[in-house]
Chains A and B, each alone.
Chain A
Amino acid sequence: MPVDLDHERISALLPHRHPMLLVDRVEAAVPGESLEAIKTISASEPCYAGATGFDYPAGLLIESFGQAAALLWLISNPSAAGGLPMFAAARDCRIEARVRPGDVVRHLVRLEQVIDGAAFASGESRVGPRRVAAFASLMAVIKPSK
């Protein structure tokens, strides 16, 4: 079942809020398998306040990919919704190219495994046809709501 999520649905699923909600739109998703999400980089982002360089920070790019992975997990496992997804580990993540204001980043996420309340995802981020980051393994856990 393909899924398309606008920003309203995204903020209903993720606990993150402005300025740390770093996924703008989900364009395609197959629950349990994969998801494609968009994050548009703007020069008005808080991370550029007073900045002299305009490379989008790697930490925020990884966080954005992680939020896309969390969305995939949450739509794959509705019983997890309501709990708090927490980023646990990232392995072998490579930033391969700069991301600058005006770029539209597309995260391609695959859900690899779910074990004992922990999810593992992998994938890559692209700007146009070019890969800007590769993620070998991201791990997240759900903290139950109670």
Chain B
Amino acid sequence: MSQSSERFEQLREIVAEVLELEPEEVADGGDFVEEYDADSLRAIEILARIEKTWKVEIPQAELNEMRNLKAVYEVVARYAGWEE
């Protein structure tokens, strides 16, 4: 597994844990709010886990963008300096 897909799967696990789902239930483009009933508190919890796991700081303004797993990955990659 490449490093980027490993990180992607790690993100999927974080999101699944916070949304109380199995990782395989979290689709790459599944909308957290529309499809998984997430609220703003869950979004902040996901952000907190990411910041802690990768020791990266993500401005809270990005929360609006982090609506699905792919979007979350893109935001984190930008702030953590992950190569595409």
A116 touching B63, Cβ below 8 Å: yes
Output the least CB separation between A133 and chain B (Å).
Answer: 20
In angstroms, Cα B39 to Cα A88, docked, is 11
Question: What residues of chain A lie closer than 8 Å to B52, measured between beta carbons?
Answer: 112-113
CA distance A42 to B34 in the complex (A): 47
Contacts of A120 in B (CB 8 A): 48
Q: How far apart sit A113 and B45, CA to CA, in the bound complex (Å)?
A: 10
* Number of A interface residues in the complex (CB < 8 A): 11
Quick one: which of B28-82 are within 8 Å of A by CB?
41, 44-45, 47-48, 51-52, 60, 63
Given contacts A113-B51, A120-B48, whether A89 and B60 have CB atoms under 8 Å apart is: no
A88 to B44, CA, bound (A): 11
Q: In which size bucket is the chain B interface?
A: 10 to 19
19 contacts between A and B (CB under 8 A): A88-B41, A89-B41, A89-B45, A91-B17, A112-B52, A113-B48, A113-B52, A115-B44, A115-B47, A115-B48, A115-B51, A116-B60, A118-B41, A118-B45, A118-B48, A120-B48, A139-B45, A139-B48, A141-B41
Report yes or no: A139 in contact with B63, Cβ–Cβ below 8 A: no
Q: Give 1 or 0 for each of A101-112: 1 = CB within 8 Å of chain B CB.
A: 000000000001
Q: Mark A26-52, 1 if CB is under 8 A from B, else 0.
A: 000000000000000000000000000
Q: Which 7 A-B pairs have the closest CB atoms?
A: A116-B60, A118-B44, A88-B41, A113-B48, A115-B48, A120-B48, A116-B44
Which single residue of chain B is at the shortest CB-CB distance from A117? B44
| B-side contacts of A91, CB under 8 Å | 17
* Chain A residues with CB below 8 A from B51, complex form: 113, 115
User: Complex Cα distance A112/B41, Å?
Assistant: 17
A139 touches B41 (CB 8 A): yes
